[in-house]
Amino acid sequence: MVGRLRGILWIGTACGLLGTTAATNAHSPLAEDDAQRARELLQRLGAADYRQREHATNQLIKMGSAIEPILREGLEMPSPEIRLRCRYILPLAMNYDLERRLQRFLSGQIDAQNPAPAGWDKFKELVGDSEKTRELFAAMHRLDSQFLTALERNPASLQQKMVSACMELMQFQNFGGNISVPPERLALMLFAAVQPKLKGNVESQSYLGSALLNMSYRPQTKLMLQSDPTIRTLLLKFILEGGPYAANNGLYLLSNLEMKETAEVARSFLKKKEVDSYSKSMAVALLGKFGGKEAIPEVLPFLDDKTSLGETRFGNGTPIRTQMRDVALATLVELTQQNPADYDFGYLKMFNGGRVVFNVHQNPTLMGFSDDSTRESALKKWREWYSKNKDSLPK
């Protein structure tokens, strides 16, 4: 029994590295008779009879979080068996009350005496109320009920904890290998990241955005992001409302995941005045990639946009200077299935005479020109082609 308990305790410690305990510290004190019974059960944890020890263990767990002070007394007793069992019982007893509440919630037993878990009303507004969303929300509470309670009552108090959690997730993705992230953990962080009191935190948004982008390159986590409808809903909410870092990484993320909502997200970014020019260039390219030929009329106006997107230089080569209209041109060329090499884009000319496979949406700022005259010639070539073929294109 001692060996089995040690194994369980080790697993619990390892899981604690990924999330905090689900139980809260608040509990009602035991009545005097219950306290006396609990102490009798505590002594039986060291009984010679294995069945007595097991029975006492189960009874103490069922007494819930109110048993905590007495179990902590047991942690100081001279008997190694009692101390070990108290260590095993303590987290289970602390979670026992929570689990009973969650089971009532999952069975639909919500009323004045049995309210829904903290945060449920906001969560269901985002993702809906279904058996699967309830199961996920219950798992989120098992992971960190304290966090969700604070998120409902005083979200501003979680600023630093959110930063630490997002940074940990990013580091875990950078150095943890191809290890999956539990859906409830990701859902918890995405849910918190879109709350008004937390979504303005630049540090947490940046860390979380980077972590999500890394996850989109890993098979297990990529599949979860693509296939779990609740995670997808929260992810889109984060990208659309999470701030500049969420926007920038989010567009790359959507590109990697090839989500059907990508075109609509791109349209949304192009309408926002506060979105930076780089993110807008990415949105133009993604609109072309995922919007199909129907998006041509929406991309055409950007041919007049001379906003600078910076320059790129490879070694001692001629710098490539990119403007928003260059990205629009490359997007339109790709949409109309023309050969980008015919338009003398600087990057393509530098590598194998333009005979390279290049997707504009993967790095739109490389689709610039080495000089203005080449750019004007390319734009003229497009206008001539468009004049001859526009009647066959969507309007």
pLDDT surpassing 50 at residue 274: yes
Mean pLDDT taken over the chain: 86
**Residue 394 corresponds to which amino acid?**
P
Query: Which pLDDT score, from 0 to 100, does residue 74 have?
Result: 94
Q: What is the largest CA-CA distance in the chain?
A: 94
Q: What DSSP assignment string belongs to 247-312?
A: HHHHHHHHHHHT-TTHHHHHHHHHH-TTS-HHHHHHHHHHHHHHHGGGGHHHHGGGGG---EEEEE
Q: What is the pLDDT of residues 114-169, one digit of tens each?
A: 899 999 999 999 999 999 999 999 999 999 998 999 999 999 999 999 999 999 99
What one-character DSSP code corresponds to residue 336? T
Residue 187: is its pLDDT beyond 90?
yes
Q: Which residue has the higher pLDDT, 320 or 180?
A: 320
Residue 237 pLDDT > 90, yes or no?
yes
| pLDDT of amino acid 356 | 44
Residues 6+ apart with CB under 8 A from 55: 44
Q: Is the pLDDT of residue 263 over 50?
A: yes
pLDDT bucket at 252, cuts 50 / 70 / 90 = confident
- Give the separation between CA 230 and CA 221, rounded to whole angstroms: 14
Q: 173-177, 269-273, 370-374 — which one is most confidently predicted on average?
A: 370-374
Find the range with the poorest average confidence among 24-38, 202-216, 240-254, 381-395. 24-38
pLDDT over 50 (residue 328): yes
What is the predicted pLDDT for the residue at 316? 79
Measure the CA–CA gap between 70 and 59, rounded to whole angstroms. Answer: 13
pLDDT band at 352 (very low <50, low <70, confident <90, very high): low
Say yes or no to pLDDT of 379 above 70: yes
Q: In this predicted model, what pLDDT tens digit does every residue of 361-377 receive, in sequence order?
A: 677 888 899 999 999 99
How much is the average pLDDT of 196-225?
A: 90
Q: What is the pLDDT of residue 366?
A: 85
What's the pLDDT tens digit per position in 44-71?
999 999 999 999 999 999 888 888 999 9
> Side-chain half-sphere of 261: how many Cα atoms within 13 Å?
18
For residue 13, the model assigns a pLDDT of 32
- Phi-psi category of residue 292: left, alpha or beta, with phi > 0 → left and psi -120 to 50 → alpha: left
> What is the DSSP-derived secondary structure letter of residue 79?
-
Q: Which of the pair, 214 or 244, is modelled with greater confidence?
A: 214
For the question of whether the overall pTM of this predicted structure is more than 0.85, the answer is no
Report the alpha-carbon distance of residue 368 to residue 349 in Å, rounded.
Answer: 11
Q: State the DSSP H helix or E strand holding residue 128, giving kind and residue range, or none if neither.
A: none
The rounded distance, in Å, linking the Cα atoms of 281 and 191 is 28
Query: How big is the chain, counted in residues?
Result: 395
Higher pLDDT pick, 129 / 351: 129
Q: Which residues pair with 308 in a beta bridge?
A: 323
Cα separations (Å) of 140 from 243, 325, 331? 24, 45, 42
Q: Which residue has the higher pLDDT, 129 or 347?
A: 129
**Cα 381–387–392 angle (5° rounding)?**
120
Residues 6 or more apart from 188 whose CB is under 8 A from it? 140, 143, 144, 147, 148
Q: What pLDDT is recorded for position 388? A: 95
